[in-house]
Amino acid sequence: MSDTINVAKIFGEDVFNDTVMMERLPKKIYKDLRQTIETGKELDLATADVIAHEMKEWAIEKGATHYTHWFQPLTGVTAEKHDSFISAPLENGKVLMSFSGKELIKGEPDASSFPSGGLRATFEARGYTAWDCTSPAFVRHDAAGATLCIPTAFCSYTGEALDQKTPLLRSMQAINKEALRLIRLFGNTTAKSVTPSVGIEQEYFLVDAKKFRERKDLIYTGRTLFGAMAPKGQEMDDHYFGTIRQRVAAYMKSVNEELWKVGVSSKTQHNEVAPAQHEIAPIYAKANVAVDHNQIIMQTLKRVAHNQGLKCLLHEKPFAGVNGSGKHDNWSLTTDDGKNLLEPGQTPHENIQFLLVLACILKAVDEHADILRESAADPGNDHRLGADEAPPAIISVFLGEQLEDVVEQLVYTGEATTSKSSGTLETGVKTLPHLAKDATDRNRTSPFAFTGNKFEFRMVGSRDSVASPNVVLNTIAAEAFAEVCDILEKTDDFDMEVHDLIKKYFTEHQRIIFNGNGYTDEWVEEAKRRGLPNIKSMVEAIDALTTEKTVAMYERFGVFTRAELESRAEIKYENYAKALNIEARTMIDMASKQFIPSIIKYTKTLADTVIAVQAAGANSEVQVELLNDVSALLKEAEEALKALITSTNKACAMDEGKEQAFYYHDVILPAMENLRTPIDKLEMMVDKEAWPMPSYGDLMFEV
Ligand code: ADP
Ligand code: MG
């Protein structure tokens, strides 16, 4: 094919990255900026002016007309306000292009409508965006032309975080400090920083845009609220890793090209389990960059789909009856000189630093399972967690055979003397190479799995920001590290103390380890016996944000204040209620204006047919039976609709907050289900020509 892509050439061409900075900035300025990026040293305004000027010149060369402070408020998506580079018109009627250091560093969007959970009264609604110079600026090309996007954090006049990024950056500082303390104790004198490395696998669905537009549920809520299962689902496993259809392949090609240009290292792509479901994953990066890149990936998936007559569904559960979408948050800790603290080596039983890090993480996850679970809570994800397709809502840790064996040796004998080796894999075919086996097999049912040299948190929903899971992981790990450092920095017998701590933590927190099948009912029972929390829904999860234990930890590490946590809890309850309210109203709209009228029309056709058949003196039993069945279900639907209208009106009249959110969960959700059931049955009985919208089959199999 002619239009091939030269990846090496285009990669990062629209990014103001280190190479560009080194080339374009005066040496002294470049050095100052590097220092700020690496050590957080404050930038003075004169330096910022020079950087802003060069950034603007570079962006204009790329065709940019506007710049934007790109931020991540608590809406789950990104926000931006565009300003063009033009300055006030000159005497001669012309304009100059300008962009100052102040404009680069600080923005003040009139952002009073973003959720703040009471942190800002409207009369003091100032919100500021502050440049995150550790995540590079880039130029985005779209229908608006080219825009210089500057990643920023968003906070209030009084410095409270109003976004996803500020706490993430704070948590990165916390883990950096405590992890450095820890590795110093083990004799590492060279590392200057420890950063969480994060790699995010993103699942999504693709459907035809024309069919999408015929479904009000997809338009308003991102998921289907009605729909009978197609004759075929995912049972044949033929879609998973299957050959990618040409239309989808062309889509993926454009997505990759756009991502590479803005420096997102898109690496893997394949078909996922459900029909029309796919996955994309970049190579891991520093946590804040990975979080930004995940937002860029989601936006790019949507934009390219739009351009190609497709729609990308990022909702966690677009279709009932087939798998929903999530994202896997791969997390590890890396020093600036490239050492991964989660690398066990060939003989983990001898790798004492690794074992201590592992013990700390087990302890952290066991003690704070509730906030880790909460970090993956969003209204859409409630349909996945625990539904035999995604990990259960119970947090447990999968270590794999080799590490579990080391842990058991330590717990039961006090010493770990061996590491089970992995050996080679024999296929029985001489011409195939012998493959070295991994020391651990995979367990796709575990919510938090050790996969070789990283943990993989698999609960996160496909639409959600991955910032909060990483805030939790960074902070709980920092807390556990701090606790061991406090002890080890004072001890006379370091080796003995380390040994005792590892043994103690493994023993006390062994209950969190589970290597079996997380999808079974037996595990739910077993977890209960072990005392592990099983927090089934988002509304039940939110409380974890404001327990004394949570507040104390976050305040100690400067990640969240109590007020910030309380505001976040409030926003979450409101978001849940709003999301459910939109779903309920969409169902009411579709049932009243589309389904019920279509079904009534269909019963009229049937009734006319019955009369005609009888007039012809023929047997009308089948027609009469169908008419009766359809009419009975129509009545059931009508009653369920009335009930849903009544309860939704009641919910809307309630004050916003926890009680209202629970009402939506406990009352509205079942009422929605009651309406869906008869309509889905009717879909299987009514003439397809008479059905007012595309079916599951049309949506999933005809992309
Ligand atoms: P899977 O087999 O689950 O798809 P991969 O090995 O393809 O897993 O990796 C998934 C993601 O994890 C990718 O984004 C990859 O870059 C990332 N990843 C790999 N190693 C690490 C690591 N040490 N820390 C964090 N993320 C990592
Ligand atoms: Mg994975």
What tens digit of pLDDT does each residue of 654-677 get?
Answer: 999 999 999 999 999 999 999 999
Among all chains, which residue has been given the structure tokens 């565009």?
82
Residue 157's pLDDT is: 80
Which residue would you say has higher pLDDT here, 227 or 38? 227
* Gyration radius (Cα) of the chain, Å: 28
Residue 439's pLDDT is: 60
Summary mean pLDDT of the chain? 93
Residue 251's pLDDT is: 96
C-alpha of residue 284 to centroid of ligand 1, in Å: 6
Residue 399's pLDDT is: 92
Residue 2's pLDDT is: 53
C-alpha of residue 448 to centroid of ligand 1, in Å: 14
Q: Regarding beta strands 310-313 and 327-335, do their DSSP bridges make them parallel or antiparallel, or are they unpaired?
A: unpaired
Give pLDDT tens digits for 171-216: 999 999 999 999 999 999 999 999 999 999 999 999 999 999 999 9
CA distances 53 to 60, 86, 527, 581, Å, are 11, 13, 58, 47
Please say whether the beta carbons of 133 and 162 come within 8 A: no
Model confidence at 153, in pLDDT bands (50, 70, 90)?
A: very high
Model confidence at 237, in pLDDT bands (50, 70, 90)?
A: confident
Residue 353's pLDDT is: 96
Residue 422's pLDDT is: 66
Mean pLDDT of 112-133: 76
What is the C-alpha separation between 62 and 58, in angstroms, rounded? Answer: 7
Q: Regarding beta strands 266-271 and 82-84, do their DSSP bridges make them parallel or antiparallel, or are they unpaired?
A: unpaired
Mean pLDDT of 228-243: 83
Q: 98 CB under 6 A from ligand 1?
A: no
Q: What percent of the chain has pLDDT over 70?
A: 96
Q: Which ligand is nearest to the CA of 328?
A: 2
Please say whether the beta carbons of 195 and 287 come within 8 A: yes
Model confidence at 238, in pLDDT bands (50, 70, 90)?
A: confident
Ligand 1 probe mutation, 454, 457, 458, 460, most atoms within 8 A of CB: 454
Residue 420's pLDDT is: 85
Among all chains, which residue has been given the structure tokens 């087990």?
362
CA distances 281 to 128, 298, 313, 471, 653, Å, are 32, 11, 16, 21, 43
Q: DSSP for 273-342, please give it.
A: SSTTEEEEEEPPEEHHHHHHHHHHHHHHHHHHHHHTTEEEE--S-SSTTS---BEEEEEEEEETTS-BTT
Which residue would you say has higher pLDDT here, 674 or 41? 674
Residue 426's pLDDT is: 65
Q: Supply the residue whose CA is at minimum distance from atom 24 of ligand 1.
A: 332
Q: Which ligand is nearest to the CA of 446?
A: 2
Q: 170 CB under 6 A from ligand 1?
A: no
Residue 110 pLDDT greater than 80, yes or no: no
Give pLDDT tens digits for 51-100: 999 999 999 999 999 999 999 998 878 988 899 999 888 899 899 999 99
Measured from the Cα of 340, ligand 1's closest atom is 23
Mean pLDDT of 24-41: 93
CA distances 110 to 107, 147, 167, 401, Å, are 10, 20, 22, 54
Residue 115's pLDDT is: 79
Residue 660's pLDDT is: 98
Q: Supply the residue whose CA is at minimum distance from atom 1 of ligand 1.
A: 201
Give pLDDT tens digits for 519-558: 888 999 999 999 999 999 999 999 999 999 999 999 999 9
Which tokens in the block code for residue 434?
A: 């012998």
Q: 446 CB under 6 A from ligand 1?
A: no
Instruction: For residue 441, give the amino acid letter.
Output: D
Residue 489: CB partners within 8 Å, gap ≥ 6?
A: 181, 185
Q: Which ligand is nearest to the CA of 458?
A: 2
CA distances 46 to 18, 53, 105, 128, 350, Å, are 20, 11, 12, 21, 52
Q: 454 CB under 6 A from ligand 1?
A: yes
C-alpha of residue 452 to centroid of ligand 1, in Å: 10
Which tokens in the block code for residue 689?
A: 């020509």
What is the C-alpha separation between 627 and 633, in angstroms, rounded? Answer: 10
Residue 608 pLDDT greater than 80, yes or no: yes
Residue 112 pLDDT greater than 80, yes or no: no
Residue 421's pLDDT is: 76
Measured from the Cα of 453, ligand 1's closest atom is 23
Residue 590's pLDDT is: 98
C-alpha of residue 477 to centroid of ligand 1, in Å: 20
Residue 125's pLDDT is: 63
Q: Supply the residue whose CA is at minimum distance from atom 16 of ligand 1.
A: 283
Q: What percent of the chain has pLDDT over 90?
A: 81
Q: 249 CB under 6 A from ligand 1?
A: no
Among all chains, which residue has been given the structure tokens 């699942």?
203
Residue 1 pLDDT greater than 60, yes or no: no
Q: 330 CB under 6 A from ligand 1?
A: yes
- pTM given for the model: 0.95
C-alpha of residue 684 to centroid of ligand 1, in Å: 43
Mean pLDDT of 482-511: 96
Q: 438 CB under 6 A from ligand 1?
A: no
